Copies of this chain bind each other. A is one copy, B any other.
Amino acid sequence: MSNVVPTRNLTRADFSSDQDIRWCPGCGDYAILATVQRTMPELGVLPENMVWVSGIGCSSRFPYYMNTYGFHTIHGRAPGIATGIKVANPDLTVWMVTGDGDGLSIGGNHLMHCLRRNVDINILLFNNRIYGLTKGQYSPTSETGKITKSTPMGSTDNPLDPVVFALGCNASFVARSIDVEAKHLGQMITRAANHRGGTFTEIYQNCNVFNDEAFEAFRAKDVKDERQIHLEHGKPLLFGADKRKGLRLDPKTFKLSVVTLGENGMTESDILVHDETNQTLAYMLARMPFPQFPVALGVFYAVEGETYNARTEQQVNFSVDKQGKGDLTKLLNSGETWTV
């Protein structure tokens, strides 16, 4: 987050570049782009103070369409470049777009370190559970047994959950949303933007060409109420069309279950209350198996802390305060010298 105050009124057009958008018709990336472009004007950051950084993949083409500064880098390395940008100029607001391949396959290490360091950049991971740009191979988030061009007999890997991974990396803000849920997605983006420190938001994104309907089981209109649970801090973890289902923890077995209010004597006081500051709870919610449990959306975890870039900047400032502004002549003549 940057502290620069906007000096002019911003609209969606201010954030839309003149480049032709080159995603497949029907791709979920369009919806995300639209929500981002709609949300940006509300954040109070001028386009010239904003940088969008990405790796390689369909999702990583995103920066071309934002009328801000943008850097379409190399596969998996966006976190390093974004870190360099933020450290070099902490006044910039840095967003990063990555994919499940870019961010979790080749780029998993950089993502991990970026999150644990709490670099103040906002990361959006478009998870379509497939490699789109290379025309459809399975990704680290694809379900085991996935049949793709490279795995005609099914993939042999256990998938990774991006939210679980981010929690394992000590991320200071972890959220999840869905491409087509414009309102929810907009809220998550706003939350991320306002969080002081690094943020990680997974966005389920449909690749209609190579992995169509990957999220239909809980994204579709007719099932979503029963199959999604929206996390809200301080509120009981209820879901269902009439909010009569809820999550309950057995304190003895340390196991979670879905219960229905009114059944078996269950009341709201039996239901877990969401606490964004509790990493263990976040972890448990992210690990709920589907479809036995609903899919959790919203902010899993958010606790602000010191950022890497702030600490780095402080050291430079502190060092100037303590040692005085560097004097080259003094440096060159420091230690033992002799004169001829």
Interface residues of A (CB under 8 A from B): 105-109, 112-113, 116-118, 140, 153-154, 156-161, 164-170, 249, 251-255, 272-273, 275, 278-281, 283-284, 287, 305, 308, 311-312, 315, 318-319
Distance in angstroms from A275 CB to nearest chain B CB is: 7
Q: Can you name 14 A-B residue pairings with CB atoms under 8 Å?
A: A106-B109, A109-B109, A109-B112, A112-B165, A113-B157, A117-B158, A153-B319, A156-B311, A157-B308, A160-B169, A160-B170, A252-B273, A254-B280, A280-B283
Q: Which residues from chain B contact A312 at a C-beta distance below 8 Å?
A: 156
Q: Closest residue to A163 on the B side, CB-wise?
A: B168
Other 13 A-B pairs with CB < 8 A, given A106-B109, A158-B308: A105-B113, A116-B157, A117-B158, A156-B308, A156-B312, A157-B308, A160-B170, A164-B168, A164-B170, A254-B272, A254-B280, A255-B278, A279-B283
Of all chain B residues, the one with the shortest Cβ separation from A105 is B113
Does the CB pair B272–A279 fall under 8 Å? no
CA distance A113 to B112 in the complex (A): 13
What are the 5 A-B residue pairs with the smallest beta carbon separation, nearest first? A168-B168, A251-B251, A109-B109, A156-B311, A108-B109
The residue from B107, B117, B254 contacting A281, defined by CB atoms under 8 A apart: B254
Residues of chain B within 8 A of A117, CB atoms compared: 156-158
Chain B residues closer than 8 Å to A169, beta-carbon distance = 160, 165, 168
* Inter-subunit contact A160/B280 (CB<8 Å): no
Q: Which residues of B contact A283 (CB under 8 A)?
A: 279-280, 283
Kindly list chain B residues whose C-beta atoms are within 8 Å of the C-beta of A278: 254-255
Interface centre among A118, A283, A312, A315 (most CB of B within 10 A): A283
Considering the complex, give the chain B residue whose CB is closest to the CB of A108.
B109
- Chain B residues with Cβ under 8 A from A167's Cβ? 168
* A158 / chain B contacts, CB cutoff of 8 Å: 116-118, 170, 305, 308
CB < 8 Å neighbour of A153 from B140, B281, B318 = B318
Q: Across the interface, which residues of B come within 8 angstroms of A255, CB to CB?
A: 278
Q: Is the CB of B275 within 8 A of A280?
A: no
Residue numbers in B under 8 Å from A156 (CB-CB): 117, 308, 311-312, 315
Closest residue of B by beta carbon distance from A318:
B153
- A278: nearest chain-B partner, CB-CB: B254
Contact B116 A160 (CB under 8 A): yes
**What is the minimal beta-carbon distance from A104 to any residue of chain B, in angstroms?**
9
A290 to B174, CA, bound (A): 24
Task: Please report the C-alpha to C-alpha distance between residue A169 and residue B319 in the assembled complex, in whole angstroms.
Answer: 39
**Do A315 and B153 have beta carbons less than 8 Å apart?**
yes
| A289 CB, min distance to chain B CBs, angstroms | 11
Residue of B nearest to A315 (CB): B153
Set of chain B residues within 8 Å of A253, measured between Cβ atoms: 275
Measured in the bound complex, the distance between the Cα atoms of B117 and A105 in whole Å is: 12
Cα A157 to Cα B170 in complex, Å, equals 11
Measured between C-beta atoms, what is the minimum distance from A278 to chain B in Å?
5
Q: Chain B residues with Cβ under 8 A from A249's Cβ?
A: 251, 254
Q: A273 contacts which chain B residues (CB < 8 A)?
A: 252
Residue of B nearest to A308 (CB): B156
